[in-house]
């Protein structure tokens, strides 16, 4: 499930000098993390030209801060899920539609269609290594993980050599067919393993699984809100998110994947589901470590400051007082991208029969 996003595809604290009238506030206009801020070896103040430039672009709002904090915190990470309809260009979205159509057409001809593509041959080759569907499932995830995380690790070098857009095309061109193959194989073979337990007839289990899957989608897609970047219509960027779901966990995709895996393994209850969950969770645990490493390399001290006031384990930083939620925190979720995720999640649930039928017809 973690690979589904391929098919669709927080910031240093700056100590402000105390004012005569103590007032707890936060600079709430989010601005991109600045390399000069992240690598600054000395404390920054209002006298710094960089900070003065930031403050001119910022607005103030009364906001709660940690009881142990002596001064407010300047938020300079990016505002996740921010989407201003007035700033959207129709031509960009038309271009996105054209790119999506072309990509899907190429994917169908080169990979999905059994008469012209290599998808079935790839699945047959992996499956022939072992007669076990559990082993085949793990191998498909492992191959995808090597390609996906490997290219992600080479992103800085790749973008310098061929540019951001070209590297995104290379990344998607390799990841998409591998993701498609892994998804289809799981759908077609999810009930092939040995049954470990059977809870599908237990009252309330279906509802609990549905809620867990619904919640998992809100964690899974924090970095794909800008679909124009995913399709390389806009220049792709490595984002340093700070708001929204990032306040709860610094690695929401990993948390969402774990929730999804546990829910599906509980529902299916066999060895194939358990193998898929083991592979996907291991991949995302590595991805969390690798993601921190890459962000630390890109943003330096800025990311280290984010790390101090966020957590990998959901809500840990909040419970420990390192992260204090604004009074209007809910507004960081009342946004169009989250509405789109809600619609996508509900639509995916009702589209399960269509997905299963399409996968079965491929005979992968």
Using a CB cutoff of 8 Å and minimum separation of 24, what contacts does 5-9 make?
Answer: 5/220, 5/221, 5/224, 5/253, 6/148, 6/172, 6/175, 6/176, 6/179, 7/176, 7/179, 7/180, 7/183, 8/221, 8/224, 8/227, 8/230, 8/344, 9/172, 9/224, 9/227, 9/230, 9/231
Q: Give the whole-angstrom CA distance, residue 139 versus residue 131.
A: 12
Answer whether residue 63 is part of any domain.
Answer: no
Report pLDDT for 61: 35
Least confident of 86-90, 210-214, 265-269: 86-90
Q: Is the pLDDT of residue 63 over 60?
A: no
Answer whether residue 44 is part of any domain.
Answer: no
Q: Are 223 and 253 in contact (CB under 8 A)?
A: yes
Token representation of residue 348: 């995916």
Q: Give the whole-angstrom CA distance, residue 221 versus residue 100.
A: 18
Instruction: Please report how many Cα atoms fall inside a 13 Å half-sphere around the Cα of residue 125, on the Cβ side.
Output: 8
Cα-atom radius of gyration of the chain, to the nearest Å? Answer: 22
Range of the domain at 228: 85-362
How much is the average pLDDT of 220-238?
Answer: 80
Dihedral sign (CA 101, 107, 109, 115): negative
Token representation of residue 355: 């997905």
Looking at residue 62, what DSSP letter applies?
A: E
Report pLDDT for 76: 73
Averaged pLDDT score across all residues of the chain: 82
- Burial of 102 by CB count in 10 Å (0-12 exposed, 13-18 middle, 19+ buried)? exposed
pTM exceeding the 0.85 threshold for the entire prediction: no
Q: Is the pLDDT of residue 31 over 80?
A: no
- Kindly indicate the confidence band of residue 114, based on its pLDDT and cuts at 50, 70 and 90: very high
Q: Give the whole-angstrom CA distance, residue 273 versus residue 279.
A: 10
Answer whether residue 64 is part of any domain.
Answer: no
Q: Give the whole-angstrom CA distance, residue 125 versus residue 115.
A: 17
Residue 137 vs residues 97, 121, 123, 172, 352: alpha-carbon distances, Å: 32, 15, 10, 21, 20
Q: Is the pLDDT of residue 36 over 80?
A: no
Residues 116-145 pLDDT 10s: 999 999 999 999 998 899 999 999 999 999
Domain count of the chain? 1
Residue 280 vs residues 98, 249, 264, 344: alpha-carbon distances, Å: 32, 18, 12, 21
Give the residue, 143 or 334, on which the prediction is more confident: 143
Answer whether residue 13 is part of any domain.
Answer: no
Answer whether residue 41 is part of any domain.
Answer: no
Token representation of residue 11: 């910031």
How much is the average pLDDT of 308-318?
Answer: 95
Answer whether residue 115 is part of any domain.
Answer: yes
Considering only CA atoms, which of 93, 78, 84 is closest in space to residue 303? 78
Token representation of residue 139: 């191998």
Token representation of residue 323: 């992260």
Residue 62 forms beta bridges with which residues? 25
Three-class DSSP category at 25: strand
Q: Give the whole-angstrom CA distance, residue 140 versus residue 183.
A: 9
For Cα atoms 218, 256, 140, give the angle at the middle one, nearest 5 degrees. Answer: 125
Answer whether residue 30 is part of any domain.
Answer: no
How much is the average pLDDT of 70-83?
Answer: 72
- Kindly indicate the confidence band of residue 319, based on its pLDDT and cuts at 50, 70 and 90: very high
Q: Is 347 left (phi over 0), alpha (psi -120 to 50) or beta?
A: alpha
Three-class DSSP category at 238: coil
Residues 51-62 pLDDT 10s: 333 333 333 333
Phi, psi of 313 (to 5 degrees): -75, 125
Give the residue, 26 or 124, on which the prediction is more confident: 124
Give the residue, 181 or 227, on which the prediction is more confident: 181
Q: Give the whole-angstrom CA distance, residue 200 versus residue 305.
A: 45
How much is the average pLDDT of 109-120?
Answer: 95
Answer whether residue 10 is part of any domain.
Answer: no
């Amino acid at each position: 499930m973690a690979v589904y996003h391929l098919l669709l595809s927080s910031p240093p604290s700056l100590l402000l000098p105390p004012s005569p009238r103590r007032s707890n506030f936060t600079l709430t206009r989010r601005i991109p993390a600045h390399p000069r801020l992240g690598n600054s070896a000395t404390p920054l103040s209002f006298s710094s030209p960089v900070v003065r430039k930031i403050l001119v672009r910022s607005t103030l709002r009364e906001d709660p801060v940690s009881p142990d904090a002596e001064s407010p915190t300047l938020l300079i990470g990016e505002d996740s899920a921010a989407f201003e309809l007035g700033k959207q260009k129709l031509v960009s979205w038309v271009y996105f539609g054209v790119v999506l159509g072309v990509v899907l057409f190429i994917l169908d001809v080169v990979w999905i269609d059994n008469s012209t593509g290599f998808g079935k041959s790839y699945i047959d080759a992996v499956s022939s290594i072992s007669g076990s569907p559990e082993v085949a499932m793990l191998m498909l995830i492992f191959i995808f993980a090597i390609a996906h995380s490997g290219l992600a690790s080479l992103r800085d070098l790749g973008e310098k050599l061929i540019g951001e857009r070209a590297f995104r095309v290379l990344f998607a061109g390799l990841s998409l067919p591998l993701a498609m193959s892994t998804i289809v194989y799981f759908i077609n073979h999810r009930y092939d393993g040995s049954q470990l337990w059977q809870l599908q007839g237990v009252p309330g289990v279906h509802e609990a699984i549905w809620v867990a899957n619904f919640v998992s989608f809100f964690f899974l897609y924090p970095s794909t809100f800008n679909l124009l970047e995913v399709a390389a219509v806009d220049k792709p960027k490595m984002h340093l998110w700070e708001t929204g779901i990032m306040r709860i966990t610094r690695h929401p995709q990993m948390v969402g994947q774990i929730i999804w895996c546990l829910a599906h393994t509980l529902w299916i209850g066999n060895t194939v589901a358990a193998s898929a969950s083991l592979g996907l969770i291991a991949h995302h645990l590595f991805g969390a470590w690798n993601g921190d490493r890459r962000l630390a390399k890109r943003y330096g001290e800025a990311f280290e400051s984010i790390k101090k006031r966020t957590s990998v384990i959901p809500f840990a930083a909040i419970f420990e007082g390192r992260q204090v939620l604004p009074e209007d925190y809910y507004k960081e979720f009342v946004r169009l991208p989250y509405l789109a995720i809600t619609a996508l999640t509900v639509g995916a649930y009702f589209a399960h029969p269509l997905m299963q039928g399409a996968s079965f017809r491929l005979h992968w």
